[in-house]
Each structure stands twice: as structure tokens, then as C-alpha cells.
Amino acid sequence: MNSEPIALDKALASFDVLWSPRIVTRVNDYDVRVTKVDGDYIWHVHDNTDEFFLVLDGELHIALREPAGERTVVLPQGSVFTVPRGIYHKPSAPSGAQILLFEPTGTLTVGDSHDEIPDHVDATIGHALQ
């Protein structure tokens, strides 16, 4: 990884593809990823890891299928939320957003179980930041 400071605004400006995270750094065995999002993602679950979200710009909605039923959390800019392992969730950004994700290196963006993957979704473990 890079041994110099990384400006997140410059990292985000370096790509345009939506729902396609870039790895900006690693912390121990975890990736710190940034991505641009707009519209709906897919329902998916990470069986063995939590997923951390930080909204850098815009607003992110995360629909959750919890034991008590479905609900949606709304994250305005500057908000954080962690989806617990084993909980199906579906991020969406009706007006677009830029987010930072923190999850174990090698975690697939579409989780361990998911709906059909549409063309606008990049099923990846993250891309190197150029």
C-alpha cells in the first residue's frame, strides 16, 4: 500500500464507475475502500463479517432484513453505520453518494449470498487505486 497520505476527494475523482470500490489503504487484514453509488444495489449478506459504511457525500439508504422485520436506515453525509454479519441488506442512493467501506481484505462486494447480479453492479473484492 501507499506510504503517503491519500486525499479521499482525489481518490474519488480518479474513477467514475458506480458501485465499483477502490482500495485506498489497508489496516491489518482490512481494506478501506471508497466508491461512488447511485440508485439501487442488490440484496446480499456477508455471513462471516460486519460491513462498515461512512457517507462522505450525499445520502445512503440501507434496507435491512432483520429478525424483527424489514427496516431502512437513512445515512446523511458524515454518518456511519455497521451492518452486522448475517443480515441481508440492500444499499441505495436515490440522489447519489460517495461512501467509505471498511471490511476484511478479500470480501466480495456482493456478499456470500445475493440476488441476481445486474450489469451495473461490479462483483469484486475491490480494485487498486490508480
- Give the model confidence (pLDDT) of 5-58 as tens digits: 999 999 999 999 999 999 999 999 999 999 999 999 999 999 999 999 999 999
Averaged pLDDT of the chain: 94
Asked, for residue 129, whether it belongs to a domain, the answer is no
Question: Does an H or E element contain 63, and which?
Answer: strand 51-66
Asked, for residue 130, whether it belongs to a domain, the answer is no
Cβ neighbours of residue 88 closer than 8 Å, sequence gap 6 or more: 43, 44, 45, 64, 65
Asked, for residue 3, whether it belongs to a domain, the answer is no
Q: Residue 83: which of 52, 61, 43 has the closest Cα? A: 52
**What is the arithmetic mean of pLDDT over 102-121?**
88
Asked, for residue 76, whether it belongs to a domain, the answer is yes
Asked, for residue 128, whether it belongs to a domain, the answer is no
CATH label of the domain that carries residue 66 = 2.60.120.10
The strand pairing partners of 83, in sequence order, are 51
Please give the tally of structural domains in the chain: 1
Query: Would you state the pLDDT for residue 2?
Result: 65
State the Cα–Cα distance between residues 109 and 89, nearest whole angstrom. 12
Query: Would you state the pLDDT for residue 1?
Result: 59
- The pTM for the full model equals 0.93
Asked, for residue 27, whether it belongs to a domain, the answer is yes
Cβ neighbours of residue 9 closer than 8 Å, sequence gap 6 or more: none
Reported confidence tier of residue 69, pLDDT bands at 50, 70, 90 = very high
Reported confidence tier of residue 130, pLDDT bands at 50, 70, 90 = confident
> The domain containing residue 69 runs over which residues?
8-118
Asked, for residue 126, whether it belongs to a domain, the answer is no
2 and 14 Cβ atoms separated by less than 8 Å: no
